[in-house]
């Protein structure tokens, strides 16, 4: 069994991860970290017992000696947690949105130096990673594309990490920027969204949404739409479990869950 701790344990995603991993027979859920924790133990769902909870990551690592840390916090906090985890011999699995290319370079370097595996994924939903894979394939054949990503109103960053990763993967698979039809008159600033490699990216934030994305390709006389919807946070749990079990068998950084799914465009 893989001994795991979860950072951000009292957040919405952290609670979902704890509930999901607690049901996995191949995972030993050993504790959680939350700066605002007021108790020493966190009850698991469905009367599954108690796990230690601490305000400080290093304290919990010293106490329970985990093999993997799962982090769903904020980019600045996540990077501090990754540095601490790798320094103490713990492999990080990071689902925090907004990890920059510079952050990824640092994680890769630290993982190599520690001779440990690390996983950073913009999206842990299996279907979302299939969407990204299909978008890479389609990018080779169609000249124009736009992305609409839709998330709950509590999401702080825009565009989402998934949308940015998708756009960059599409441009990479294509080998050049997409054609971007000109808009001669913009009546409302920002109406055409942001641009990444010729791909227009639009963000929607509304209560009631969870995580949704459409990739729309256009060509002469045709439109191709690839869409994924996460309707609840438990959609991410199988991907988190996959990453937790895979990271202990690897050395260095794996970026994207598709890197663990054997998907090659």
Instruction: Specify whether 10 is located in the same domain as 106.
Output: yes
C-alpha–C-alpha distance, residues 102 and 109, integer Å:
11
Structural domain boundaries, residue 48:
2-120+233-261
* pLDDT tens for each residue of 180-211: 888 888 889 899 999 999 999 999 999 999 99
Instruction: Specify whether 15 is located in the same domain as 116.
Output: yes
**Residue 264 — very low, low, confident or very high, per pLDDT cuts 50/70/90?**
low
Instruction: Specify whether 88 is located in the same domain as 107.
Output: yes
Instruction: Specify whether 138 is located in the same domain as 86.
Output: no
Q: Which residue numbers are catalytic?
A: 151, 155
* pLDDT tens for each residue of 34-49: 988 888 888 888 777 8
Instruction: Give the chain's domain count.
Output: 2
Task: Give percent of the chain with pLDDT exceeding 90.
Answer: 75
Which domain CATH number covers 141?
A: 3.30.360.10
pTM: 0.86
Q: Is residue 13 a contact partner of residue 95, using CB atoms and an 8 Å limit?
A: yes
Instruction: Specify whether 217 is located in the same domain as 252.
Output: no
C-alpha–C-alpha distance, residues 88 and 68, integer Å:
11
Q: Say what the pLDDT of residue 161 is.
A: 87
Residue 120 scores a pLDDT above 60: yes
């Amino acid at each position: 069994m893989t001994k795991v701790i979860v950072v951000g344990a009292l957040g919405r995603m952290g609670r979902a991860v704890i509930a999901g991993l607690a049901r996995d027979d191949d995972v030993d859920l050993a504790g959680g970290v939350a700066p605002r924790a007021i108790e020493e133990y966190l009850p698991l769902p469905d009367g599954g017992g108690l796990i230690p909870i601490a305000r400080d990551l290093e304290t919990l690592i010293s106490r329970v000696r985990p093999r993997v840390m799962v982090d769903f916090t904020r980019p600045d906090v996540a990077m501090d947690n990754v540095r601490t985890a790798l320094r103490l011999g713990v492999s990080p699995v990071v689902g925090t949105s907004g990890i920059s290319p510079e952050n990824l370079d640092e994680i890769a370097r630290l993982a190599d130096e520690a001779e440990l595996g690390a996983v950073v994924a913009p999206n842990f939903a299996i279907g979302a990673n299939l969407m990204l894979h299909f978008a890479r394939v389609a990018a080779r054949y169609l000249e124009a594309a736009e992305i609409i990503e839709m998330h709950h109103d509590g999401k702080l960053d825009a565009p989402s990490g998934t949308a940015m990763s998708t756009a960059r993967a599409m441009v990479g698979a294509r080998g050049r920027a997409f054609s971007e039809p000109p808009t001669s008159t913009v009546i409302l600033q920002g109406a055409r969204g942001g641009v990444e490699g010729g791909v227009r990216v639009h963000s929607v934030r509304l209560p009631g949404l969870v995580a949704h994305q459409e990739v729309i390709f256009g060509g002469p006389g045709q439109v191709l739409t690839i869409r994924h919807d996460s309707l609840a946070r438990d959609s991410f749990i199988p991907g988190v479990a996959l990453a937790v079990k895979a990271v202990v068998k690897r050395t260095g950084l794996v970026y994207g869950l598709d890197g663990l799914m054997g998907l090659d465009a």
